[in-house]
Amino acid sequence: MTDKYDVIVIGAGPAGYVAAIRCAQLGLKTACIEKWHDDKKNAVYGGTCLNVGCIPSKALLDSSHKYVEAQKDFKTHGISATGISMDVPAMIARKAKIVSQLTSGVKQLFMANKVEGIAGSGKLLAGKKVQVTKHDGSTVELSAENVILCAGSAPINIPPAPIDNDVIVDSTGALEFSSVPKRLGVIGAGVIGLELGSVWSRLGAEVTVLEAMDAFLPAVDGQLSKEALKILSKQGLDIKLGAKVTGSKVGKGKAKTVTVSYTNKDGDQEAVFDKLIVAVGRRPVSENLLGENTGVELDKRGFVVVDDSCATSVPGVYACGDLVRGPMLAHKGMEEGVMVAERIVGKKTQVNYDLVPFVIYTHPEIAWVGKTEEQLKAEGREYNVGTFPFSINGRAMAANESEGLVKIIADAKTDRVLGCHIIGPSAADMMQQMVIAMEFSASAEDIGLTMFSHPTLSEAVHEAALAVAGHAIHGVNKRKR
Ligand code: FAD
Ligand code: NAD
What are the residue boundaries of the structural domains of the chain, listed by start?
A: 4-155+283-353, 168-277, 364-468
Average pLDDT over residues 448-468: 98
CA–CA distance, 199 with 63 (Å, rounded to integer): 8
Render pLDDT for 438-455 as a digit per residue (tens, 0 to 9). 999 999 999 999 999 999
The preferred substitution site among 282, 332, 359, 365 for testing ligand 2, maximizing ligand atoms within 8 Å of CB, is: 282
Per-residue pLDDT for 480 more than 80?
A: no
Q: What value does the mean pLDDT take over residues 274-281?
A: 98
C-alpha–C-alpha distance, residues 307 and 189, integer Å:
31
Ligand nearest to the backbone CA of 186: 2
Query: For residue 478, what pLDDT is reported?
Result: 78
CATH superfamily of 4-155+283-353: FAD/NAD(P)-binding domain (3.50.50.60)
**pLDDT at position 1:** 47
Opening angle at CA 266, ends 263 and 270, nearest 5: 45
CA of 54 to the centre of ligand 1 (A): 9
Instruction: Give me the active site residues, please.
Output: 454
Task: Tell the burial category of 109 from Cβ atoms under 10 Å away from its Cβ (0-12, 13-18, 19+).
Answer: middle
The pLDDT of residue 198: 98
* CATH architecture for the domain at 364-468: 2-Layer Sandwich (3.30)
> Quick check: 14 pLDDT over 90?
yes
Task: Choose which residue among 48, 191, 262, 360 to substitute to test ligand 2 binding: the one with the highest number of ligand atoms within 8 A of its C-beta.
Answer: 191
Distance 75 CA to ligand 1 centre (A): 40
Give, using CA atoms, the residue closest to atom 9 of ligand 2.
190
Q: How far is the CA of 67 from the centre of ligand 1 (A)?
A: 28
* pLDDT, tens digit (0-9, with 9 covering 90-100), for 252-270: 877 899 999 999 999 999 9
Ligand closest to Cα of 279 equals 2
pLDDT at position 71 is 93
Residue 2, pLDDT score: 57
Per DSSP, the chain holds a count of helices (H) and strands (E) of 12, 22
Asked, colleague to colleague, whether 168-277 and 364-468 share their fold, the answer is: no
- CA 271, CA 259: separation in Å to the nearest integer? 6
- Report d(CA 130, CA 141) in Å as an integer: 6
Contact 41, 140 (CB under 8 A): no
pLDDT in tens, 48-70: 999 999 999 999 999 999 999 99
- pLDDT, one tens digit per residue, over 124-180 is 999 999 999 999 999 999 999 999 999 999 999 999 999 999 999 999 999 999 999
Superfamily name with CATH number, domain 168-277: FAD/NAD(P)-binding domain (3.50.50.60)
Instruction: Name the band, by pLDDT with cuts 50, 70 and 90, for residue 378.
Output: very high
- Quote the ligand 2 centre to 188 CA distance (angstroms): 6
